[in-house]
Amino acid sequence: MTQLHDLTALQQGAALRFGEISSDELVEHYLERAERLNPSLGAFVTFSADQARERAATVVGDGPLAGVPTAIKDLNATAGVRTMFGSRLLGDYVPDESDEVVRRIEAGGLVSLGKTNTPEFGSPCYTESAVAPPAVTPWDTTRMAGGSSGGAASAVSGGLVPLAQGSDGGGSIRIPASCCGIVGLKPTRGRISGAPMYGEITGLATVGPLARTVRDAAAFLDVMAGRAVGDPFWAPEEATPFLAACDRTPGRLRVARFSVPVIAETSVDPEVLAAYEDASRLLESLGHEVVDIDVPMPREAVATFETCWAVLTGLSTAGLDDSARALLQPLTRWLGERGEAVSGPQFGLALGELRRIAARTLEALEPYDVVLTPTLASLPLPVGALRDDEDPAADFEAQKRFTPWTSMWNVTGSTAVSLPLGQSASGLPIGVMLAAAPGAEALLLSLATQVEEASPWLDRVPPCW
């Protein structure tokens, strides 16, 4: 028997428009599931049930997702709802103003059930903060959901919401999408506004959707995309919705592929490589040309990326006194101190070099339409396997070995998606990543939809479903 959470987000939206269900029914259904399953998943850190019920009673907007439940990552300010940024420093912070992306989600008629779990300031690729239990994959609750959008991915994978908003500065949408067996899309730099705070000064991070299907992700991207007045940079506006791109055939594409890790020397799990090879054969069977290439980004880029990444953390820790610093987790303190030690000229030089590295990488990839790699180097790891409070430097290196491909596309500003094409012998999800040039979301979504139709995954659900 089909239950409400078996429906995709777009199916729920259609049922709402035809009067087959109400937003109130959906909200109550998902709140019940979230309250029952969240203790074992660590997906939500704050519920906003009263606000959700109020919004469901007076749904605004007429888009394809109007009235559909969702959730907001705890890194994005939400007016009137506690927003902790995964940190004890901000455990009681309730913003007066929402981020632009939250306002767009509300204007699209979606109904947020609350805030999803994230690590402190969104830094690591696992979700194990000091303010909440760890976020875990619903496929095996002893294993991590990934990060930093781990709570969002766990919520979608476990059927606590049909889709959720995440953000990605080095893989933070695609990593948890792979760990949790769902779709995670990183949009092009500037596709989604960073107003009103514009705190992401490097251009590495962007907001994006996590969903069970490519079409749901595309529809949610349509809701969030677009510039705000005052944005310092933005992607060109699209003439048609991204959802419409899912109904186009991509044509015959040139697909570059490589599986050599980019940012770290590490071995790759054989089951991950098998999923990558299966994806290559699938693309060939769909008529695409698949070409092996060398890694297009030099290993020297890693140090430059790390300088910029540390500065981002340093912006969060600068000016804190000793008592406030004592509330931070060891990794945050270590990264923040690295960032605070970078001078203004050093940061400027690093940012300029990052742009030049991006340009050279994109030039090398110009002959190809898309790029195929694994998403992660291994299956979802046990909770705590990467975290090392005694040695944050070792923690950071372990993260790089776990996710050696994702950050490349943050450097270039490209769009990239993790698709849940693989599954291990033990039943754990394995993501495969496709990336396209900056601004090429329509092409990427068209191809991803073709792949999903050829090798569907929607009926593959975790034990808690």
Is 148 catalytic? The answer is: yes
Nearest to 185 by CA among 465, 440, 458: 440
Nearest to 446 by CA among 264, 224, 218: 218
The pair of three-digit structure tokens given for residue 335, joined into one six-digit string: 């990264």
Strands 183-186 and 44-47: unpaired
Nearest to 77 by CA among 197, 234, 171, 167: 197
Is 259 catalytic? The answer is: no
Distances (CA, A) of 419 to 181, 229, 239, 255: 8, 33, 26, 16
Half-sphere exposure of 319 (CA within 13 A, CB side): 2
d(CA 126, CA 149): 9
| Those residues with Cβ within 8 angstroms of residue 210's Cβ, 6 or more apart along the chain or in another chain | 149, 152, 153, 156, 163, 164, 165, 166, 173, 176, 177, 182, 183, 184, 185, 217
CB 45 within 8 A of CB 151: yes
d(CA 322, CA 125): 26
| From 48, 73, 112, 316, the catalytic residue | 73
Strands 370-374 and 254-257: parallel
Asked if the peptide bond before residue 148 counts as cis, ω within 30 degrees of 0, the response is yes
d(CA 44, CA 449): 29
| From 149, 172, 259, 378, the catalytic residue | 172
d(CA 115, CA 70): 10
| From 148, 154, 316, 446, the catalytic residue | 148
Is 115 catalytic? The answer is: no
The pair of three-digit structure tokens given for residue 360, joined into one six-digit string: 């050279």
The residues annotated with a catalytic role in the active site are 73, 148, 172
